[in-house]
Structure 1
Amino acid sequence: METFLSWICYQIECLHHGIILIGVVSVLTSLLFLYNSSFTDTPEDQMQSDIQQMDVLQQQTSHLEGYNSIIDHKPLRMRCKSCALVTSSGHMTGSGRGVEIDRKECVIRMNDAPTRGYQKDVGQRTTLRVVAHSSVQRVLRNRHELLNSSQNTFFIFWGPGNHMRQDGKGLVYNNLRLLKQMMPKLQVYVISGLKMLHFDELFKKETGKDRKKSNSWLSTGWFTMAIAMEICDRINVYGMIPPDFCNSPSPEPSVPYHYYEPAGLDECKMYLSHERGRHGSHHRFITEKRVFANWARMFNIHFYQPDWRPAPVTKNSTDS
């Protein structure tokens, strides 16, 4: 087993060092946000349409389209009344939120974020872990914690088409199949290509920007929030800052981008450099958080550590 998993690590490391990802579709989608209204809709019409579609989708609890198991391609079946979506932010350090997080019916984490040694602040349960193709190698390296003890955890992996293709040429997809064969109780799901395309449209709908033309790569945080909205009736998000946090004239003390890498990159510096980047591909962390704040005005989403709520939308003074 150890030799096999080490071989997978080697294969994926070769992938990261040998392939340059240019112009590939790398974003996922959610049927939850298939908007039928045009850009000429009023904000009130758009919000009502969103709420109606959410109500319809919440009734469809049998399975979730677009998330398919790695071997038999069965759709994901998952529903939670309350979820804790735990980010990897340094804001979680010293939070003491662990017990509160573990009380939620479902706990959602991202990539290779560990719990061992951080239970007091981030909890120890994991119901769902959303993993980017670029983080698979790190997950395998931490397999003793993240995989060996995670047979009750659902894993959803996402990645661009050339990594996840199912014709024998998708290296990440192939390695995930081998991993599932070696650990048959592991719950491994992947995002379908169609679902990925729908999430590109979601980003464009919410921001007015074409993801590829704006040199943007959606973050795992974006994917995780959108997936959580399909799964959870209520979402408590831990460690996510508001969209204007890093531009505050009196910013809070800096924190590391990851709570488990205290000497790592500064979170706000990371966010601002990506948001302002125009050459090469970048995440649009702050743009994404503006979308999350807007979703929280319509849906049952709440932010903690730091605790904040989105400001109400101000109406134009000419409105009646």
Structure 2
Amino acid sequence: MKTPMHHGIAVFLVITLCASLFLVYNGGFHGSTSESGMAVAAGGSRDRSDARRSWQTEQQQKASVRPAVLQGYSSIIDHKPLKMHCHSCALVTSSGHLMGGGRGEEIDRAECVIRMNDAPTALGYGRDVGRRTSLRVIAHSSMQRVLRSRHELLNASQDTVFIFWGPSNYMRRDGKGLVYNNLRLMNQVLPKLKVYIISWQKMLQFDELFKRETGKDRRISNSWLSTGWFTMTIALELCDRINVYGMVAPDHCREPQPPSVPYHYYEPLGPEECAMYISHERGRRGSHHRFITEKRVFASWARTFNIHFYQPDWEPPPLAPANRTQGETVSVSIRDWQPEMEVGW
């Protein structure tokens, strides 16, 4: 039985961890990565969409026999890969569009519920965003906020899988990786947590995937991938069907008078969503996300994969006949995508 002294030690360690992370993250680092082993092989007589659907069917059949092993996501304790598969997933964004929708029960009915960073479910948000969390994808720069909300996000989340991503020099295991060291400490304080990190090889693949899908090099354009990019791509590996809640269409902010909602539903006085998207998309100096570009890629994927968008409800328009690939065949896996579009900013 834990004594008050044990609880006191745990609180002290977490507070110490928060202080150290404050020093680490005030400097701000936004992603790394360069090359990938994403090869695409040609063969057969089916077009690309048929090949992807066949791949997905094959993965579903395998998953019905045994848990899927997701390479590139390793346990902070024993370094084993993540074993997880879900037939249906609710990917819940942090957008203000979620408020007032009343879709919390619908979200919780999914086999797996995926959230990002420190997005809360308590404090009255459950009616709109749900209460369950199966997987939470967290950026290295959000770790301090997660620890600040540890009573909800960590202490009460024994069944939740946490995947942390960050630059390779922060994740190294030789004693010099500051994020990795702090995650180890966090897992010692809360040993039942299921904590995983993304390997540097996998980070390279995420970068290469962005370049292949957009024709743009993330680093040359002074941008870095958002947690939404990592989360959607992980969901494609994890889930047979993905229901995305709170993600607007790529052209939403170009409408004459788009509704004004907060960027984060839990920060009603924070930045406005479209203002945030547009400022980042147009950014040239310093580091920026490319939110709108990423959403164009997600819309493209939704034409092939089992991805659906709710709150607001929308679906990508079909491609014009001239843009469709005819007769080209590929052997595709989630880690071996062929670029289908080029998006400029």
Superposition TM-score, scaled by structure 1 size: 0.91
1:244 aligns with 2:251: yes
Aligned 1:170-319 pairs, distance under 5 A: 170-248=177-255, 250-316=256-322
Q: How far apart are residue 179 of structure 1 and its match?
A: 0.9
- Retained in 2: the 8 A contact 1:35–1:50? no
Q: Secondary structure at the match of 2:248?
A: coil
Q: How does 1:66-215 map to 2 (within 5 A)?
A: 66-116=72-122, 117-215=124-222
| Count of aligned pairs between the two proteins | 310
Instruction: Tell me, yes or no, if the aligned pair for 1:26 and 1:217 is still in contact at 8 Å.
Output: no
Q: Is the 8 A contact 1:28 1:199 kept in 2?
A: no
> Aligned equivalents of 2:289 and 2:323: distance in 1?
35
Shift of 1:258: 0.2
Match of 2:49 among 47, 50, 54: 47
Give 2:292's aligned amino acid: I
Counterpart of 1:36 in structure 2 is 40
Q: Distance in 1 between matches of 2:108 and 2:34?
A: 29
**Secondary structure in 1 aligned to 2:101?**
coil
Quote how far apart the aligned CAs of 1:47 are. Answer: 3.4
Structure 2 contact 76–196 (Cα < 8 Å) conserved: yes
CA gap 1:317/1:66 in 2 versus in 1, 3 angstroms: closer
Summarize deviations over 1:66-109 as a string: whole Å, max 9, x none.
00000100110101111100000000011100010011110000
Q: Residues 246 and 181 from structure 1, CA distance in 2 versus in 1: closer, same or farther, beyond 3 angstroms?
A: same
> Is the contact made by 2:33 and 2:203 (CA closer than 8 Å) also made in structure 1?
yes
* 5+ residue gaps, structure 1: none
Q: Cα distance 1:141–1:231, how it changes in 2: closer, same or farther (>3 A)?
A: same
- The 1-side partners of 2:253 and 2:221 are apart by 22
CA distance in 2, matches of 1:170, 1:317: 45
- Determine the C-alpha separation between the residues in 1 that align with 2:203 and 2:301: 20
TM-score under structure 2 normalisation?
0.85
Selected match of 1:21 from 20, 26, 29: 29
- The answer on whether the counterparts of 1:240 and 1:306 sit within 8 Å (CA) in structure 2 is yes
| Residues in 1 aligned to 2:141 and 2:240: alpha-carbon distance in whole angstroms | 30
Indicate the SS of the match to 1:188. Answer: strand
Letter in 1 for 2:306: N
Measured in 1, the distance between the counterparts of 2:315 and 2:121 equals 27
Conservation of the 8 A alpha-carbon contact between 1:57 and 1:230: no
The whole-number CA distance in structure 2 between the counterparts of 1:153 and 1:132 is 16
Give the 3 Å change call, closer, same or farther, for CA 277–20 of structure 1 in structure 2.
Answer: same
**Distance verdict in 2 for CA 1:244–1:318, change over 3 Å:** closer
- Which 4+ residue blocks in structure 1 deviate beyond 4 angstroms? 26-29, 55-58, 317-320
Distance of 1:245 and 1:286 partners within structure 2: 9
| 1:120 partner SS | helix
Following superposition, the deviation at residue 237 of structure 1 comes to: 0.2
The amino acid across from 2:11 in the alignment is E
Provide the identity percentage. 63
What is the SS of the residue equivalent to 2:278?
helix
Shift of 1:62: 3.5
The 2-side partners of 1:242 and 1:318 are apart by 21
Conserved? CA contact 1:27–1:160, under 8 Å: no
Quote the residue 2:13 is aligned against: 4
Which residue identity lines up with residue 15 of structure 2 in the other structure? S
